Structure 1
Amino acid sequence: MKTLIKNGRVIDPANKIDAACDVLIEDGVIQEVATNISVTADEIIDATGLLVAPGLVDIHTHMRDPGFEYKEDIISGTRAAAAGGVTSLTCMPNTNPVNDSCAVTQYIINKAKQQGSANIYPIASISKGMKGEILAEMGDLKEAGCVGFSDDGIPVTHGELLRRAFEYADTFSMPIVTHSEDLSITGSGCMHEGDVATELGLQGIPWVAEDAGTAREIMLAEFTGGRLHVCHVSTKGSVDLIRHAKARGVRVSCEATPHHFTLTDEAVRGYNTNAKMSPPLRSQDHVDAVRAGLADGTIDAIATDHAPHHYDEKNVEFPVAMNGIVGLESLLPLSLRLVADGLLGLNSLISLLTVQPATIMGIDRGTLSVGAVADIVLIDLEREWTYTAESLHSKSKNSPFLGWEMKGAAVKTLLAGKVVFER
């Protein structure tokens, strides 16, 4: 089957394309990207006034499947991804059972292939059961289809175990993906330590908890020569540490989330549990540092940390509420604000959402190269809409952005040339 996308503005940072082009797809594979393609096609998609880009790649999500399907599952999660223009995502291992085995990995991959609306690439746990005691079987997990290793929100406190994890993962050309935090400093904190926490009477989490974890993991990566990816950087200290580590050749990459470059800890006022997350929303000086890190290239990718939770898990006292927000369907419009603010050019933003995250995880996606799988998103940069609970495709609705007026939306998402979402 041949599909022709005509009259769009094609942006493909991997191939340095930003031009009015057509895209020809045959049997789910890109055959040509050029001006005025003239060919008989089974389907013609008119992209007049639209941006045509590689499908977005989100390298930090929680699909909650297996084990917590009441919050999200692979079907609903990938449907939300497609609605947000995301065609490929990695999912964290904090499922039940934990993804520390080939059986769980293959379950996730097979369910996504059979019933999903996006590609899923599992991240396996560093340690068995995410207990931080014994390394998982990294070689077997890579062979099963995993693309990285992480104990997700539970930092590996055992230094020697983490050292060995870097060494073993590197033999398989895999990254160690970390939630960088010193939990002994975090203590019982539940939001950023600062004026807002003091006024609300909530125990704070000081910025140094993240910085200490980031510093330790950078040093271990430097010592072992392994590859480190730091999740959801949120402090100016972490951004500086990563910037300096890159300058001296450490193999480190990192990501930022839309909530950490859009909101401050002011969003917690009213004890808003939808603004409770880990790492917490920070003060304006830290937000400014994350934005600067995106602008100067220190931060390599934008990822959502999509973390669905049931209403009852958020409708409790702030200190005991679950951490996290849903983010797949707000990823694109919130990221486009960086362009509207003059912080990034559109090409740079698309790169942060496509080829750069794909490269970090070794995923063969994020480009419109001839011969590539035709994962494509058509974006209306001018589309204005309201982000509401009713509009979300995710099972869970926990977001501090509910009610926000958004600009920019995915209007058509193609997975291997097949339309999986249309607005």
Structure 2
Amino acid sequence: MSVHALSPAPLALVNARLIDPEQLTEARGGVLVRDGVIMALGAGVSAGALPGDVKVVDCHGDCVSPGLIDLRAFVGEPGAEHRETIATATAAAAAGGITTMLAMPNTDPPIDDPAVVDFLLRRARDTGRIKVLSAATLTRKAAGHELSEVGLLQAAGAVAFTDGLHSVADARVMRRALTYARDFSALVMHFCEDASLADGGVMNEGELASRLGLTGIPREAETIVLERDLRLVALTGARYHAAVVSSSQSLALIARAKADGLPVTCSTTINHLTLNESDIGDYRTFLKLSPPLRGEDERLSLVEGLRDGVIDTIVSDHNPQDVETKRLPFAEAAPGAIGLETLLSAALRLFHAGQVGLPDLMAALTCKPALILGLPQGRLAVGAPADLIRFDPDEPFVLDTNSLRSRCRNTPFDGSRMEGRVKLTLVDGRVAFEEQGILRG
């Protein structure tokens, strides 16, 4: 199902709790969608005040907000379709309220050639339910040595440059990459990890790792590379996004860089915001992640960083792994967890715990990632693309992996009690996901 299908019939979502992440406000009212854009919104959009050709859906007080924008999702296609395809990933994303996702370039072949960018975008148009954007590798084959052709890849449609799962170790290569990206006004999204410090590590370094008999990865593996990168940003002036920050040390560096006026932003994952190393429990490999889950004090520092605006966006870090790579001893299992379908419901844990207000939380999932990529969506405003979701933030459920739409089942929230369910997802006004019968009002 292409997101570029003919314009759907006009639709109005009324009697809703409108969440505006740009203005950080909540209000009662409705949204009128016509020709794929938001035509009107607010208290004046009600069932009795609409033209006869408009289909009216009573939201019964559910929230309506812009659709989520996920800046870090690994999709198997091309090359690892047994793990995930664009079709299955976008079905999961739509069910989770995601209307735009940025696909990482760690595929086979990697996205380091304009032809592969073109392939991914065409497949997304042909089989995707949501908008799929392509990142390209920062270096050839994401190997950290030879620079990718930023200009050609950008012309083919790549919107950001990253080696995804890998960190560029060579400072000279990283400086050249930032300089090159600056000349094309391109965004560099870097995963910060010193491979020599992380080598052999499988979880956060500390007392728990020692008790479990597992080799730890110190926070410094992240912060050493991040500090180097920020110095190179100051040297080059390139736009830079730290793909994942997971510690208070990293937050302090980002906060200082922003205070100095550097063009720097950052994300953290929903897993690092809502889980900690203790959740690993009895060697649960679905919680083996990269970077590893940190201690509870670090998780709380990330929540504070999100609330204070040091952290710009929350990502799913969706990374499907099959049974053969996860049903292994903890030290041998591959890192990664799926997260597209659970991103919103997991994020709402922070709202229900009173740690982050709902508009602020939605801003980190919608308008802020849109601003980083220069996208028109992610806003609840007249004239904006009608990428919208309707969700009940309070509806409880227990996560059953058999109900997930991803091809793999490696979720860290298996069997967890969750709150918040998406009922409707619109992409350019077209239904990408609908809970059974919801459009009947």
- Scaled by the length of structure 2, the TM-score of the pair is 0.94
Q: Which runs of 4+ in 1 moved over 4 A?
A: none
Instruction: Please report how far the alpha carbon of residue 15 of structure 1 lies from its aligned counterpart in structure 2 after TM superposition.
Output: 5.0
Query: What does residue 190 of structure 2 align with?
Result: 178
Query: What does residue 244 of structure 2 align with?
Result: 232
Q: How does 1:321-340 map to 2 (within 5 A)?
A: 321-340=333-352
Stretch moving more, 26-35 or 344-353? 26-35
Q: How does 1:340-351 map to 2 (within 5 A)?
A: 340-351=352-363
Amino acid in the other structure paired with 1:338: L
Instruction: Please report how far the alpha carbon of residue 16 of structure 1 lies from its aligned counterpart in structure 2 after TM superposition.
Output: 5.3
Secondary structure of 1:378 counterpart: strand
Stretch moving more, 161-170 or 51-60? 161-170
Name the CA distance, whole Å, in 2 between partners of 1:216 and 1:362: 26
Instruction: Please report how far the alpha carbon of residue 269 of structure 1 lies from its aligned counterpart in structure 2 after TM superposition.
Output: 2.5
Secondary structure of 1:381 counterpart: strand
| Pair 1:50 & 2:62 matched | yes
Stretch moving more, 164-173 or 215-224? 164-173
Q: How many residues align?
A: 423
Q: CA RMSD in A?
A: 1.2
Name the CA distance, whole Å, in 2 between partners of 1:234 and 1:13: 24
Q: How does 1:94-243 map to 2 (within 5 A)?
A: 94-243=106-255
Instruction: Please report how far the alpha carbon of residue 369 of structure 1 lies from its aligned counterpart in structure 2 after TM superposition.
Output: 2.2
Deviations 1:158-191 (A, max 9, x none): 2111111111112222211011111111121111
Secondary structure of 2:423 counterpart: strand
Secondary structure of 2:291 counterpart: coil
Secondary structure of 1:148 counterpart: strand
Q: How does 1:354-393 map to 2 (within 5 A)?
A: 354-393=366-405
Secondary structure of 2:300 counterpart: helix
The unaligned stretches of length 5 or more in structure 2 are 1-8, 436-441
Identity of aligned residues (%): 38
Stretch moving more, 13-22 or 330-339? 13-22
8 Å contact from structure 1 (residues 68, 96) kept in 2: yes
8 Å contact from structure 1 (residues 262, 287) kept in 2: yes
Instruction: Please report how far the alpha carbon of residue 386 of structure 1 lies from its aligned counterpart in structure 2 after TM superposition.
Output: 1.2
Q: How does 1:84-103 map to 2 (within 5 A)?
A: 84-103=96-115
Name the CA distance, whole Å, in 1 between partners of 2:84 and 2:269: 20
| Pair 1:18 & 2:30 matched | no
Name the CA distance, whole Å, in 2 between partners of 1:411 and 1:170: 41
| Pair 1:281 & 2:293 matched | yes
Stretch moving more, 403-412 or 16-25? 16-25
8 Å contact from structure 1 (residues 147, 362) kept in 2: no
Amino acid in the other structure paired with 1:300: D
Instruction: Please report how far the alpha carbon of residue 17 of structure 1 lies from its aligned counterpart in structure 2 after TM superposition.
Output: 5.0
Q: How does 1:255-334 map to 2 (within 5 A)?
A: 255-334=267-346
Name the CA distance, whole Å, in 1 between partners of 2:182 and 2:377: 22
The unaligned stretches of length 5 or more in structure 1 are none
Name the CA distance, whole Å, in 2 between partners of 1:401 and 1:35: 37
Instruction: Please report how far the alpha carbon of residue 363 of structure 1 lies from its aligned counterpart in structure 2 after TM superposition.
Output: 2.2
8 Å contact from structure 1 (residues 4, 41) kept in 2: no
- Scaled by the length of structure 1, the TM-score of the pair is 0.97
Deviations 1:333-378 (A, max 9, x none): 1111111222211111111110001111222210122222211000
8 Å contact from structure 1 (residues 148, 177) kept in 2: yes
| Pair 1:5 & 2:17 matched | no
8 Å contact from structure 1 (residues 59, 89) kept in 2: yes
Instruction: Please report how far the alpha carbon of residue 13 of structure 1 lies from its aligned counterpart in structure 2 after TM superposition.
Output: 2.1
